[in-house]
Structure 1
Amino acid sequence: MVDRFNEALLVALALALGLLALLAFAQVIARYLLGAPLTWTEEFIRYALIWSVFLGVGITVRKGMLAAVEVINATVPPPLARILTWISLAISAVFWSVLIVYGWIILGNVEGMRSGALEIPMAYVYSAIPLGSVLALINTLVVTVAPPRADAELAVD
């Protein structure tokens, strides 16, 4: 179920990044050819990229694509490599949990604030932190049960 959700999310993120590229292109055209820059695109792109990173990190966790110290796993005996993998997963789970807690705290701190150009509540922007961290934590827990395949790095779908 998590993998199906991740696949749908990956498609949505790919489409969103394509849209962001078009918006960036439109901003360049408006600024340099028309002499009238769009006031909202830069802020929208910035916030959408933040959301894309936080939503996408869970997928990278599940596919085993986060930066890892493969040299250590390759040089130590397999039993020690498994122990180090479990330690790494535990540290990751703690990290995502801390981000969830502090992301929630940040939401309280930015209550009532609005963005400069778009005038959207900043809580919408900052909610990417706890939501993305929840997705990453879920994917980390799934990896503990069903580790990614060795060729998963090559299969970005």
Structure 2
Amino acid sequence: MLNLTQVGGRYFFSTGFSWTEEVMRYSMIWLMMLGSVACIFRLEHMGIEALETLVRPRFVRFVKSGLYSVAGIFCVVILIYGYPLALRNAAQVAPASGIPMILPYAALPVGAVLMLVQIALSWLTGFEPDRPDEADGLSNGQGGAV
């Protein structure tokens, strides 16, 4: 919607709204960090699937554990550097939109913490996502329409 506002303002009114570009950029940062958490939850990271196919099925759990360990270390690094960075920029304000700069910078530590929580939960559940069709008995023919 913001992109449509930017393009419409540029072509229909011969002026662009400078704040829309900033808000879109900051929204994309948050979207990327929160989307990463969702990918960990759903076990949909592309690199993990690619490496899983290279090993025997009995070693898949070890590959996932190693990959999630590397991701966890990366999240800790993001948290260690991202949190002080967000605090240092708390007094700044975005020039066009007036958004306090702590909001875009806070996406890094917040996303890193949420990813760490999801990685820990993945380790505890054995890297197996809950499948709704298996939980209610639909996968073995016990259910469906009457």
**1:21-71 deviations in whole A, cap 9, x for unaligned?**
x12111111111111222211111111111111122101111011122435
TM-score, normalised with respect to structure 2: 0.78
TM-score, normalised with respect to structure 1: 0.73
Query: Which residue in 2 is equivalent to 1:120?
Result: 99
Task: Give aligned-pair identity as a percent.
Answer: 26
Q: Which moved more, 1:122-131 or 1:88-97?
A: 88-97
Query: Which residue in 1 is equivalent to 2:7?
Result: 28
Structure 1 spans left out of the alignment, 5+ residues? 1-21, 153-157
Cα distance in 2, alignment partners of residues 77 and 37 from structure 1: 55
Change (3 A) 1:26 1:75: closer
Partner amino acid, structure 1, of 2:42: K
Query: Which residue in 1 is equivalent to 2:24?
Result: 45
**1:61-90 deviations in whole A, cap 9, x for unaligned?**
110111224354234233332222211111
Cα distance in 1, alignment partners of residues 93 and 43 from structure 2: 37
Contact 1:62 1:139 in 2 (8 A): yes
- The structure with the largest alpha-carbon Rg is 2
Change (3 A) 1:104 1:55: same
C-alpha root-mean-square deviation of aligned residues, in Å? 2.2
Query: Which residue in 2 is equivalent to 1:92?
Result: 71
The count of corresponding residues between Structure 1 and Structure 2 is: 131
Higher relative contact order (CA 8 A, sep 6+): 1
Query: Which residue in 2 is equivalent to 1:109?
Result: 88
Contact 2:48 2:64 in 1 (8 A): no
SS state at 2:92 partner: coil
